[in-house]
Amino acid sequence: MYNDFMTMKYRQLGPKGPVVSALGFGCMRFPTAGGRIDRRQSKAMLYKAIDSGVNYLDTAYPYHGGESETLIADVVVGRRRENVIIADKMPLWLVETASDLDKYFDEQRQRLKSDTIDVYHLHALNAERWEKMKKVGAPDWLARKKEEGDIRYAGFSFHDDYPAFESIVNGWDWDVCQIQYNFMDVDEQAGTKGLRLAYSKGIGVVVMEPLQGGNLATPPRTVQAIWDRSAVPDRSPVERALRWVWNQAEVGLVLSGMSVMEHVEENLRVASEAAIGELDAAELALYEEVQAAYISLKAIGCTACEYCMPCPEGVDIPSNFRAYNQAATYGNMEGARGQYARMKDLFDRGLSETDTRGINCISCGTCEPKCPQGLQIGDLMPEVAAVLGGTKTLDQALIS
Q: Are 10 and 23 in contact (CB under 8 A)?
A: no
Domains of the chain, first to last: 10-288 (3.20.20.100), 317-389 (no CATH)
Mean pLDDT of 73-84: 91
pLDDT recorded at residue 137: 98
Per-residue pLDDT, 79: 83
Nearest to residue 87, comparing CAs of 63, 65, 103, 64?
Answer: 63
pLDDT(349) > 90: no
Supply the mean pLDDT for the chain: 95
Is the Cβ–Cβ distance between 191 and 158 less than 8 Å?
Answer: no
pLDDT at 4 over 70: no
Confidence of residue 305 (pLDDT cuts 50, 70, 90): confident
pLDDT in tens, 98-125: 999 999 999 999 999 999 999 999 999 9
Number of C-beta neighbours around residue 273 at 10 A? 15
**pLDDT band at residue 78 using 50, 70 and 90 as cut-offs:** confident
Question: What pLDDT is stored for residue 1 in this prediction?
Answer: 40
State pLDDT tens for residues 178-227: 999 999 999 999 999 999 999 999 999 999 999 998 899 999 999 999 99
> Taking a C-beta distance cutoff of 8 angstroms, is the pair 159, 189 a contact?
yes
What is the per-residue pLDDT for 2? 43
